[in-house]
Amino acid sequence: MLQRLRNCSLYRQLIIPMFGIGLFSLLGTVYFSNILKESVAALDTVYVDGDIRLHNLEQIEKQVTFYRALSLRHLTTESFSSMEEINQQLQQTRRKILDALPGARTAPAVTEQPLPESDEYTHDLAAALRSYFGETGVAIKLSAEFEKEAAFILLSRVESKYVPRIMEITSQLIRHEFEDIAVSRQVLMSVATQNLYITIAIGISGGGLLLLIAFAVIRGVTRRLSRLLTWSQAISEGNYSVPLTQDSSDEVGQLTQAMMEMADSVSDAHGKLETAKKNAESIAEALQIYANAFENSGEAILITDRNNHIINVNTAFTRQTGYELAEIAGRNPRILSGGNTTTGTYREMWQALEKNSFWQGELWDKKKSGELYPKWAAISVIRDPHGEVLFHIASFTDISDRKAAEARIEHLAHYDMLTGLLNRFSLESRMEQAILAAKRDNQQLAVLFVDLDRFKYINDSMGHQVGDQLLIEVASRLKECVRESDIVARIGGDEFVLVLTGLKDTNRVPTLAGNIIDRISQPYTVNDNVFDSSPSIGISIYPDDGDNIDELLKNSDIAMYHAKNQGRRNFQFFTEHLLVASEERLDFEHQLRSALELDQFELYYQAQVHTQGNHIYGMEALIRWNHPVRGFIGPDRFIPIAEEIDVIQQLGAWVIDEACRQLAIWKQTTTNPLQISVNLSAKQLHSDTLIETVREVMEQHRIREGELELEITETATMSDPELAVRQLNRLNQLGVSLAIDDFGTGYSSLAYLKKLPINTLKLDRAFVGDIENDRNDAEICMATIALAHNLGLKVVAEGVETTAQRDFLAEHRCDYLQGYLFSKPVPPEAAGALLEARHAPRETETCR
Amino acid sequence: MRSLVSQVCLPVLALVTLASTYPGNAAEITLAVANSTCGTVQAVGARYVETHDIKINYLCKSSGLLAKGIRGGAIQADIYISASQRWMEYMVKGGLVAADKVVSPWGNRLVVGAPAGSPLKLEAWNDLTTDKVKTILIGDPGTAPFGRYAKQALQRTGIWEQIKQKITTTRHITLLADRLAQSDNRTVGILFSTNLSDRLRSIYPVDPTWHPEIRYYMAPLGAPEAGTEASRFFEFINGDPGREAFQSAGFDVSG
């Protein structure tokens, strides 16, 4: 095969493989760049589609809540025409929800697994919603027939059957959506990177092969030509006995043959000079072919003489550089140099040419237009048999495109996509260099950990696009605050890290931190919204606060949290005693363990009044910790910790005992019936000593049936419903009244509560607080009251603070009220005084 | 369990609590009374108190709400009076009332009423479907028996679907009577004839064959011993004094 190729003409030897390979690489490159472009476009689509789907899911969540409120409103409406209006709204809402349902997903072509789990959820959601609407429709129809009773029962069953499921699937879908986007992005990124590599590989291997072939052919021809030259010199010196073997039948072979014949003729007679002349002509012809190959090569080729003066360039060269032969003939190729190639590279090049007569590598050259571009150069030195340089041949490939792609990948790996700042990875490598430099020069570094206050709030309330714009703006402001040589990175959500390098001392750091706070706290304008944000900054110093990256970052993070605790919008330097703060929690736990023995707990009492008549029927006992150093500590602070470290049983038993003891005292002085309520935590409810504790306390203080009420939260009953029902039934047998606290905050439905032996529902203060502002909350409030009455339960509204709330609740026949409007929690003596007066004082508008 | 507790403990507890609250009175009983009989029962009670040292509390609500309240433990009472058999059966099933103690001494009639000053006239029952009548007030069929009877009559005569859009419900009969009295000339209400006050007048009597017979049902709650205050009053109201009062208030006492 190779032999057959060598027998072809030089023109074919060069052109056939070159053309074939050139075409192949060109097609390959075009094909894969096209795929690359598609991947990038697909990546874009993933983000946009993801956004739309997320928005729709959030819309569904909101509309389902509205739909629930509407259906409850329908049930509490007495006139048919009002019901008709509500029914139309219901249908509109239902259409809105069904329209917003995620459709069949069009997964991007490159994502081979379209996450079938997510599709299943979508399908489930649609099915759950349709069944929910269908069955709610039946309840609405009953309601329209004025069969409110049956409608209530059906609706509460339908709600408990579908609503938690719908909410769960929706939040699952939202979570999946986020995962989807991340997965698709990863897949697309890896496909894009792979394509890029393939494109580059094809480009390089194609170019390399071309060079290799050109080189091999040229090398073969020149070697044979120089052998022929040596031979013909010998002949011309009259030495006809020199042997010559040439084994190919191409032009060079023919030339050899002719020369051999010429030599024969010369040896015979000068008379055959004419023949020799003819043979010389065919040599010229061969050279002409060679020149054509040179001229038409796709590679830019440049030839210089032994003194490195340009003697020829081809058209591809002119195309690449813009120089015509006439402009540069006789000049040194140095004029092409762009100045970006290091002198080391040139030195290496000349050494290789000297030693191996060949060099290839990357050069930065300048076009005639002045534009700098990178190119791949292959240079051969052609020598005579004595090793003297005859000329240089150089061929060039423009590799600007490949370079640009490499730079893009480099950028992605090292910079944050959103803000263009360094990412965590390159922050660490830059910090490593900065630490080394500081160590060497005996200088200091300041690491500033910047966290935006309220960023999550802005992101949640105004949308993440606004959040992203804010981050971009913050990034640019941060960059303006520091020198070019300092490091600015974003390492997560709203967390930025600044490293001030090469500091002789840290005197100026506080001023700079102050500047940053002022600058970041200036108002932001995004999409016509103007809003404020501010940073909290923690600062650690190398080498004082740590001599490695992890320690410096950790300590600046600790200092940042300290800044947050100090009220945000300030900066704090790391100090050793911040480390101590985390040890304080241990101390707190220890104090909590001994607080009971030291008698540091107190019960306060808040009055509960009849809606009609305003007189007190009960007191809720609320625990406070009277800490010798910190003063009063509320239960929100220590109850979760007490649950964690298992002192809740003792503490809970103490509260029940103390509250009942107090009740026994009050019963001696007042003749009015009185109930005392005590909160029960989830852990207490599940404790096996609870029943015994309650029984003993009731016996000891002679507490009668209905006088002690225990309050549990919805969620406490849900973790282990069977155990909860068992415990509650036993409490019920003891004559303890049971209440559900914070009702309305969980997902439980009245149908579920029906299974529990409870007597009272406590409407959560969140609903009560929004009665005046939020129509939906007001309606849920009033429907809950109606439904609770339907189940024979009493309703207590918590957190009543205004007369408007009281009037609303009275109008909708809420049984009992509790809140600042009547009395705040007070010590036992003050509570006793209230009881004697029987009526809670009306601390109306004046207390607000 | 809960019913046992309320049967045994609640009356005892109530007595103990009341004894301490009202030291002067010997006893106290509570009556859970269907709204439509409220006034008459109070009249009977007033006569009883004249001769007995006792305090009587009245809880007047719709029969269904009372039944549910008693069964759920939110309401405690000694005697329950229902305006329909359905809610009394509900109590019997709940074990709160002994089936053999239930009596049904009185009945009632439904009429179409209008404000006293209204010139509206109904020539026939089907006039309810005409433009003369814009709004029809009835009781909530779910909890108020007079509403259930009204719906049954409207369905039986085949005009329910035609007049449905004119319907507005109320929770109990006194509320309906109040609202009707303040209404315009194109509003009517369907209510017991005994609840027509001087601010209302009957414009059409409802044919009693269109709905089940309207009977009241009364029973003592739990199992009170003979000779207690509650059982003595039960006999009083179930006997002649009660019959006279109900007859003069317009109830049907023939049953």
Q: Categorize the per-residue pLDDT at A582 as very low, low, confident or very high, splitting at 50, 70 and 90.
A: low
- CA distances to A679, B48, B79, B193, B229 from B103, rounded to whole Å, are 45, 20, 12, 22, 18
Residues in chain A closer than 8 A to B166 (CB atoms):
80
Give residue A107's pLDDT.
Answer: 44
Q: Within this chain, do residues B83 and B6 fall inside the same structural domain, yes or no? A: yes
Task: Write down the pLDDT at residue A817.
Answer: 93
Same domain, yes or no, for B97 and B149? no
Sequence-distant (≥ 6) Cβ neighbours of residue A127 within 8 angstroms:
none
Q: How far is A813 from chain B (nearest CA, A)?
A: 13
Of all residues in chain A, the one with the smallest CA distance to B142 is: A149
| Closest C-alpha among B214, B203, B196, B96 to residue B153 | B214
What average pLDDT does this structure show over B160-164? 91
Flag if B21 and A672 touch (Cβ within 8 Å).
Answer: yes
Cβ distance of B140 and A148 shorter than 8 Å = yes
Q: A259 lies in a domain? A: no
**Are B99 and B224 contained in the same domain?**
yes
Q: What is the mean pLDDT of chain A?
A: 83
Based on the fold, state whether residues A555 and A432 are members of the same structural domain.
yes
Q: Give the pLDDT band of residue A1 (cuts 50, 70, 90).
A: low
Report the residue of chain A nearest B1, measured CA to CA.
Answer: A733
Identify the residue with better confidence: A843 or A79.
A79
* pLDDT score of A263 more than 80: no
Beta carbons of B169 and A759 less than 8 Å apart: no
Residue B118 within a domain: yes
Position B22 scores a pLDDT of 41
Domain that holds residue A410: 298-414
Looking at the fold, whether B73 and B18 belong to one and the same domain comes out as: yes
| Cα(A720)–Cα(A743) distance, integer angstroms | 18
Q: Are residues B219 and B98 in the same domain?
A: yes
Residue B21 pLDDT greater than 50, yes or no: no
Confidence of residue A111 (pLDDT cuts 50, 70, 90): very low
Cβ-defined contact of A80 to B164 (cutoff 8 Å):
yes
pLDDT of residue A838: 66
What is the distance in angstroms between the Cα of B247 and the nearest Cα belonging to chain A?
A: 32
Owner of token pair 């103390």: A658
Same domain, B9 and B103: yes
What's the token pair of residue A815? 């049984």
Is any Cβ of chain B less than 8 angstroms from the Cβ of A141?
no
The answer to whether residue A318 neighbours chain B at the CB level (below 8 Å) is no
Tell me how far apart the alpha carbons of residues A108 and A208 are, in angstroms, rounded to a whole number.
Answer: 35
The pLDDT value recorded for residue B20 is: 37
Q: Decide if B177 is inside a domain.
A: yes
Q: What is the pLDDT of residue B11?
A: 37
Show the domain range for B123. Answer: 110-210
Please check whether residues A631 and A556 belong to one and the same domain: no
Give B27 to chain A, closest Cα distance, Å. Answer: 17
Same domain, A396 and A373: yes
Coil/strand/helix, residue B203: strand
Residue finishing a domain among A359, A388, A414: A414
Q: Using the predicted structure, report yes or no on whether residue A749 has a pLDDT greater than 60.
A: no
Dihedral (C-alpha) A142, A143, A145, A148: value to the nearest 10 degrees?
100
- The string of DSSP letters for A772-819 reads TT-HHHHHHHHHHHHHHHHTT-EEEE----SHHHHHHHHHTT-SEEES
- Please report, rounded to a whole number, the percentage of residues in chain B having pLDDT higher than 90: 47
Cross-chain residue pair B169–A794, CB shorter than 8 Å: no
Residues of B in Cβ contact (< 8 Å) with A705 = 5, 9, 13
Coil, strand or helix: which one is B38? helix
User: Which pLDDT band holds residue A194 (cuts at 50, 70, 90)?
Assistant: confident
Rounded CA separation A381/A392 (Å): 5
Q: Number of structural domains, chain B?
A: 2
Percent of chain A with pLDDT over 70: 92
Same domain, B82 and B101: yes
Task: In whole angstroms, give the CA distance from residue A198 to residue A111.
Answer: 19
Q: Within this chain, do residues B167 and B227 fall inside the same structural domain, yes or no?
A: no
Q: Which residues of chain B neighbour A78 with C-beta distances below 8 Å?
A: 140, 168-170
Specify whether the backbone of A257 is left (phi greater than 0), alpha (psi in -120 to 50) or beta: alpha
The C-alpha torsion from B238 through B243 and B248 to B253, rounded to 10°, is 110
3-class SS at A756?
Answer: coil
- Residue A750 pLDDT: 60
- pLDDT tens digits, one per residue of A630-654: 888 888 878 877 887 788 888 999 9
Q: Using one digit for the tens of pLDDT, what is the confidence trace for A359-406? A: 988 888 888 888 888 888 889 898 888 888 888 889 888 888 777 777
A258, part of any domain: no
Q: Is a pLDDT exceeding 80 seen at residue A44?
A: no
A652 lies in the same domain as A782: yes
Which two structure tokens, joined as six digits, stand for A499? 């490293």
* pLDDT of amino acid B190: 94
| Cross-chain residue pair A148–B2, CB shorter than 8 Å | no
Provide CB contacts within 8 A for B49, sequence distance 6+: B55, B56
The whole-number average pLDDT for the span A302-325 is 88
* B191 vs A253, residue with greater confidence: B191
Asked whether B241 and B110 are in contact (CB, 8 A), the reply is: no
Which residues in chain A are contacts of B170 at CB distance < 8 A? Answer: 78
Confidence check: pLDDT of A758 > 70: yes
Same domain, A649 and A711: yes
Contacts of B141 in chain A (CB under 8 A): 146-148
Domain assignment present for residue B221? The answer is yes
Residue A46 scores a pLDDT above 90: no
- List, in sequence order, the alpha helices (H) in A76-115: 80-100
CATH number, domain with residue A494: 3.30.70.270
pLDDT score for A271: 55
Long-range contacts of A150-158 (CB under 8 A, 24+ apart): A150/B142, A151/A75, A152/A75, A152/A786, A152/A787, A152/A790, A152/B142, A155/A71, A155/A72, A155/A75, A156/A749, A156/A750, A156/A751, A156/A787, A157/A751, A158/A132
Q: B26 falls in which pLDDT band (50, 70, 90)?
A: low
Closest CA to A750 of A797, A712, A800, A714: A714
Contacts of A794 in chain B (CB under 8 A): 74
Q: What angle do CA A110, A113, A117 make, to 5 degrees?
A: 145
Question: Does residue A30 lie in a domain region?
Answer: no
Cβ-defined contact of A673 to B17 (cutoff 8 Å): yes
- Read off the amino acid at residue A551: E
CA distance A151 to chain B (A): 9
Q: Is residue B255 part of a domain?
A: no
Do B100 and B220 lie in one domain? The reply is yes
CATH number at residue B174: 3.40.190.10
Q: Does B150 have pLDDT greater than 80?
A: yes
pLDDT at A845 over 70: no
Q: Which of B61, B8, B64, B73 is nearest to B32 (CA)?
A: B61
Q: Final residue of a domain: which of A414, A435, A469?
A: A414
Sign of torsion over alpha carbons A678, A680, A686, A689: negative
A268-277, A763-772, B151-160, B199-208: the lowest-pLDDT one:
A268-277
Domain count of the fold of chain A? 4
Measured between CA atoms, how close is A656 to chain B, in angstroms? 23
Return the pLDDT at A462.
Answer: 77
Query: Would you state the pLDDT for residue B255?
Result: 65
Contact A146 B142 (CB under 8 A): yes
Least confident of A3-7, A360-364, A446-450: A3-7
Residue B253 lies in a domain: no
Q: Tell me: do B75 and B146 sit in the same domain.
A: no
How far does B18 lie from chain A, in Å, by closest CA?
Answer: 10
Q: Do A705 and B165 touch (CB under 8 A)?
A: no
Chain-centroid distance of CA A703 in Å reads 58
User: In terms of DSSP bridges, do strands A631-633 and A616-627 run parallel, antiparallel, or are they unpaired?
Assistant: antiparallel
Distances (CA, A) of A136 to A85, A157, A244, A767, B169: 16, 10, 104, 24, 21
Is residue A234 one of the residues assigned to a domain?
no
Q: What is the mean pLDDT of residues A217-226?
A: 82
Check which CATH number belongs to the domain holding A144 and give it.
Answer: 1.20.120.1730
Q: Do A146 and B140 touch (CB under 8 A)?
A: yes
Same domain for A733 and A818, yes or no, is yes
Best CA proximity match to B201, nearest among B107, B128, B131, B121 = B121
Report the pLDDT value the prediction gives residue B44, as an integer from 0 to 100: 93
pLDDT at residue number A6: 66
- Residues A820 and A698 both lie in one domain: yes
- Indicate which of B133, B137, B140, B175 best probes the interface with A, i.e. most A CBs within 10 Å of its own CB: B140
- For every residue of A448-482, DSSP letters joined together read EEEEEETHHHHHHHH-HHHHHHHHHHHHHHHHHHS
Same domain membership, residue A770 and residue A708:
yes
ipTM value:
0.73
Q: Which of A1-5, A185-189, A500-504 has the lowest mean pLDDT?
A: A1-5
- Quote the pLDDT of residue A748: 54
Distance of alpha carbon B199 from alpha carbon B174, whole angstroms: 12
Residues from chain B that touch A704, judged by Cβ atoms under 8 A, are 13
Contact partners, residue A686, CB within 8 Å, separation at least 6: A719, A720, A723, A724, A727
Residue B223 banded pLDDT, cuts 50, 70, 90: low
Please give the C-alpha separations between residue A12 and each of A141, A301, A370, A450, A740, in angstroms, as whole numbers: 89, 19, 37, 68, 94
Residue A504: pLDDT above 90?
no
Say which residue, A179 or A659, is predicted with more confidence.
A659
Residues in chain B: 255
Residues B118 and B240 in one domain: no
For residue A685, which amino acid is it?
L
| Percentage with pLDDT > 90 across chain A | 18
Are B101 and B7 found together in one domain? yes
Report the 10 Å Cβ neighbour count for A74: 25
